[in-house]
Structure 1
Amino acid sequence: MTDHRQDSGAATIWSALAVAALTSVATLGIWLGAATIARHRAETAADLGALAAASHAAEGPTQACERARWVTDRMGVKLLTCRWQRLDALIEVESPTGALAGLPAPAARARAGPTGQPP
């Protein structure tokens, strides 16, 4: 017959520490993934908004910027600025979600203009 009073419970403690460490790493990975997705969403919305504005440049800057706002609203980001430099549309957006605590919200800028013109 074995005496179980000699068991100190070290395996239970090590197992609990391992589970806590793995949970922390998984949580960090999920947070980083969410931040990356929010940044990619902002970049994509800025690109599409700039292309939409540039494709409607013939209608005037106001109408072109309204088209960019329409696109960015549907992508779930906030259009911060829409301005023109010569024939190029310059768009800046910010994602309202996806920012980690203490970090600024993901933002992106894009530029689009007519084809066939040197930059």
Structure 2
Amino acid sequence: MAGTALAAGVLAVSATLTVGLAGFGGAAVTAQRAAGAADAAALAAADAASGAVITAEEPCALAARVAAASAARLTSCVLVGVTATVEVRVAFGVLAAGSRARAAPAPG
């Protein structure tokens, strides 16, 4: 009888840890997706602002489209010259992961 109770306790602890670690892993993946989306959006905006990419869209509109392609939402886009600073949010269940990135053309 004591062995059964011990096995049930070990199983309960293992299940709790598994669920907790799966949630933590999902949050970490979402944070990395947000970082990638922010990097891509900032590069797109900076390239559009510098003329490196020919587009009829405004740089921040292009950044929003690039972020949306990564399942992210552009929450901020600021252009200073050809330097773009963007912030994005990616949904994770009822929570959201955010990331900020800055990009500018290479000097020279």
Q: Does 1:65 align with 2:84?
A: no
Give deviations 1:37-69, integer Å, cap 9, x for gaps.
110000000000001111111369x61111111
Aligned to 2:105: 114
Give the 4+ runs in structure 1 shifted more than 3 A.
none
Amino acid at match of 1:109: R
State the alpha-carbon separation in 1 of the partners of residues 86 and 77 from structure 2.
5
* Larger gyration radius, structure 1 or structure 2: 1
Contact 1:98-1:106 at 8 Å conserved across structures: no
List alignment gaps of at least 5 residues for structure 1. Answer: 1-8
- Taking structure 2 as the reference length, the TM-score comes to 0.88
- Taking structure 1 as the reference length, the TM-score comes to 0.80
**3-state secondary structure, aligned to 1:39:** helix
- Of 71, 76, 91, the residue aligned with 2:71 is 76
**3-state secondary structure, aligned to 1:95:** strand
Aligned to 2:2: 10
State the alpha-carbon separation in 1 of the partners of residues 11 and 27 from structure 2.
24
Amino acid at match of 2:101: A
Aligned sequence identity (%): 31
Q: How many residues align?
A: 104
Aligned to 1:32: 24
For structure 1, which segment, 51-60 or 10-19, has the greater mean C-alpha deviation from structure 2 after superposition? 51-60
Contact 1:35-1:98 at 8 Å conserved across structures: no
State the alpha-carbon separation in 1 of the partners of residues 98 and 70 from structure 2.
13
* CA drift at 1:86: 3.2
Contact 1:83-1:91 at 8 Å conserved across structures: yes
